[in-house]
């Protein structure tokens, strides 16, 4: 819908504004919609059309566009001015020094036409806001927006989903194929690329099509086997229960890439579990448990002294990481092997935390939530390490797994540049 159509009834009238201490009228008095001109005639503080109303309040500016009521702080309005002197449209960076804005600032004049809000500030500077931009960028508008589209899955949902197969050739050469791959990855938190040559170099090339490789103390692109060359159970033949990796980093690695180059033996199947699906079940069944897991900070730790490798990593944060403004889950940090001593909360909280952690673990361990796959040479698996847990069955024989971690920002960057919501 265009704003031109929505604002045809709005007059471009200039209002003289009352003094700062003047009592503002009650919010949208009942008569205001029946007599479109009354408020502006009597108060000189408000204007409106069928779909747009505004009021200059004592402490904030109130704007309603197509039924969405928004409230803007005056300093915010000055701070977000997109005029050439305040904002560099070429670099998309703020020029205005926010510290020079008087904290009690209020506009001296306000005018709204079909699609623009004009604010004149006491020093004469004029700020123009496109109304659609305000809707998109206001707190209230953001809250209305859908969270990141995801399909939470158990094995049945995933297997029935008919996830598209992505082949290496198309993936490397066609942006459409890359987009298809990333769309799948964003929806499910896992995605495969098939027909990749079973080499470390080819795996690296495929990984770099999506993002930047995140080098860690394990190296850039690793190729590991059960030789205990490093001080971690991953470098053995033992089974590994579901977990996320690098929980001991302040920012755990965003994506994990696995490519099994060789396995002459039995076992070693890979387990995948959608952590967000499990967390969602906890939220629905016992919101108090979800809240505890999202509020209580705990530590994860990696201590290694093997050969020349000396590492001590510590990451602090809750198991469930949610955006504070809308409670949307964005990262799960779940690794019972690497979880460190709990010393960040008192005993009564510890007790409730164990109950909540058990509820999540019970959910994550339900057989119907387990997706088992056998990694084979040629099939590269990308795992969203902020969402999907992985594990493996114990195995026999020579098994060689190569892969790398990717930076999450750059995966999302690639996705956005292809027009995906990320
Ligand atoms: C993937 N690679 C074999 C290089 C490292 C494995 C790291 C294992 C560690 N316990 C963690 O969960 O982070
Ligand atoms: O060996 C595997 O399949 C995975 C081991 C693991 O969890 C890891 O390397 O992060
Ligand atoms: Fe792992």
pLDDT in tens, 241-281: 999 999 999 999 999 999 999 999 999 999 999 999 999 99
pLDDT at 47 over 70: no
* Residue 344 pLDDT: 94
CA distance 74 to 62: 10
Which residue's CA is minimally distant from atom 9 of ligand 2?
234
222 lines ligand 1 (CB under 6 A): yes
CA distance 12 to 49: 11
Among residues 56, 87, 90, 48, the alpha carbon closest in space to that of 73 is found at 56
- 76: CA distance to ligand 1 center in Å? 44
Q: What is the mean predicted confidence (pLDDT) over 222-226?
A: 96
Q: What's the predicted TM-score (pTM) here?
A: 0.88
Task: Spell out which residues have Cβ within 5 A of ligand 3, the ion.
Answer: 245
* Residue 411 pLDDT: 98
Which residue's CA is minimally distant from atom 4 of ligand 1?
218
243 lines ligand 1 (CB under 6 A): yes
Sorting pLDDT into bands at 50, 70 and 90, what band is 232?
very high
Q: Please give the mean pLDDT across all residues of the chain.
A: 90
pLDDT at 412 over 80: yes
In this structure, the residues whose C-beta lies within 6 A of any atom of ligand 2 are 234, 240, 245, 270, 390, 392, 401
Q: Residue 185 burial (CB < 10 Å; 0-12/13-18/19+)?
A: buried
- 246: CA distance to ligand 3 center in Å? 8
- For the question of an ipTM over 0.95, the answer is yes
Least confident among 29-33, 61-65, 321-325, 393-397: 29-33
224 lines ligand 1 (CB under 6 A): yes
Give the count of beta carbons closer than 10 Å to the beta carbon of residue 43.
19
**Atom nearest to 270 CA in ligand 2:** 3
CA distance 337 to 300: 9
**Atom nearest to 243 CA in ligand 2:** 7
Higher pLDDT, 36 or 312: 312
- 382: CA distance to ligand 2 center in Å? 13
Q: What percent of the chain has pLDDT over 90?
A: 84
pLDDT at 11 over 60: no
pLDDT in tens, 328-357: 999 999 999 999 999 999 999 999 999 999
* Residue 5 pLDDT: 30
Least confident among 8-12, 83-87, 354-358: 8-12
Higher pLDDT, 42 or 157: 157
Sorting pLDDT into bands at 50, 70 and 90, what band is 46?
low
- 223: CA distance to ligand 2 center in Å? 11
DSSP SS3 for 245: coil
Asked if 103 and 87 count as a contact pair (C-beta separation under 8 A), the reply is no
List own/partner pairs for 214-219 with CB under 8 A and 24 or more apart. 214/253, 214/254, 214/404, 214/405, 214/406, 214/407, 216/246, 216/249, 216/253, 216/405, 217/304, 217/309, 217/311, 217/313
Task: Indicate the top mutation candidate among 228, 246, 247, 306 to test ligand 1's pocket, ranked by most ligand atoms within 8 A of CB.
Answer: 246
* Residue 52 pLDDT: 86
Which residue's CA is minimally distant from atom 10 of ligand 1?
232
338 lines ligand 1 (CB under 6 A): yes
DSSP state letters, 308-346: TEEEEEEEEE-SEEE-TTT--EEEE---TTTB----SS-
184 lines ligand 1 (CB under 6 A): no
**Atom nearest to 260 CA in ligand 2:** 3
pLDDT in tens, 91-116: 999 999 999 999 999 999 999 998 99
Q: What is the mean predicted confidence (pLDDT) over 228-237?
A: 96
* Residue 147 pLDDT: 81
Asked if 253 and 376 count as a contact pair (C-beta separation under 8 A), the reply is no
Give the count of beta carbons closer than 10 Å to the beta carbon of residue 54.
25
* Residue 1 pLDDT: 33
pLDDT at 4 over 60: no
Tokens of 14: 């200039």
* Residue 43 pLDDT: 35
Q: What is the mean predicted confidence (pLDDT) over 115-130?
A: 97
Q: What is the mean predicted confidence (pLDDT) over 128-147?
A: 89
pLDDT in tens, 358-387: 999 999 999 999 999 999 999 999 999 999
Among residues 188, 192, 242, the alpha carbon closest in space to that of 376 is found at 192
Ligand nearest to the CA of residue 391, numbered in listed order: 2
pLDDT at 33 over 60: no
Which residue's CA is minimally distant from atom 6 of ligand 1?
234
């Amino acid at each position: 819908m265009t704003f031109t159509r929505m604002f045809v009834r709005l007059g471009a009238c200039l209002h003289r504004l009352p003094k700062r201490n003047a009592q503002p009228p009650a919010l949208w008095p009942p008569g205001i919609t029946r007599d479109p001109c009354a408020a502006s005639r009597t108060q000189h503080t408000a204007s409106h059309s069928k779909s747009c109303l505004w009021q200059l309040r004592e402490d904030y500016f109130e704007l309603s566009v197509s039924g969405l009521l928004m409230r803007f702080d005056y300093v915010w309005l000055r701070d977000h001015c997109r005029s050439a002197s305040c904002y560099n449209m070429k670099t998309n960076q703020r020029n205005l020094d926010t510290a020079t804005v008087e904290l009690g600032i209020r506009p001296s004049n306000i005018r709204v036409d079909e699609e623009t809000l004009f604010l004149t500030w006491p020093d004469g500077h004029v700020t123009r806001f496109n109304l659609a931009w305000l809707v998109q960028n206001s707190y209230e508008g953001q809250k209305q927006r859908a969270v990141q589209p995801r399909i939470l899955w158990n094995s049945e949902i995933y297997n029935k989903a008919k996830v598209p197969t992505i082949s290496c050739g198309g993936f490397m050469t066609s942006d459409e194929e890359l987009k298809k791959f990333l769309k799948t990855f964003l929806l499910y938190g896992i995605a495969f690329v098939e027909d990749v040559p079973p080499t470390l170099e080819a795996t690296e090339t495929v990984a770099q099509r999506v993002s930047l490789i995140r080098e860690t103390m394990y190296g850039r692109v690793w190729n590991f086997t059960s030789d205990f060359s490093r001080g971690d159970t991953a470098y053995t033949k033992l089974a590994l229960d579901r977990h996320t990796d690098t929980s001991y980093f302040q920012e755990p690695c965003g994506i994990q890439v696995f490519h099994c180059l060789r396995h002459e033996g039995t076992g070693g199947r890979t387990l995948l579990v959608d952590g967000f699906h499990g967390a969602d079940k906890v939220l629905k069944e016992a919101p108090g448990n979800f809240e505890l897991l999202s509020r209580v900070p705990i530590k994860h730790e990696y201590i290694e002294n093997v050969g020349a490798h000396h590492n001590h990593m510590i990451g602090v944060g809750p198991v469930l990481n949610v955006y504070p403004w809308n409670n949307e889950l964005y990262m799960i940090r779940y690794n019972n092997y690497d979880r460190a001593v709990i010393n960040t909360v008192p005993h009564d909280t510890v007790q409730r935390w164990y109950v909540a952690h058990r509820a999540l673990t019970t959910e994550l361990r339900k057989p119907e939530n387990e997706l088992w796959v056998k990694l084979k040479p040629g099939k590269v698996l990308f795992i969203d390490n902020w969402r999907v847990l992985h594990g493996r069955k114990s195995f026999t024989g020579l098994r060689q797994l190569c892969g790398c971690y990717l930076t999450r920002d750059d995966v999302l960057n690639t996705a956005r540049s292809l027009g995906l919501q990320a």
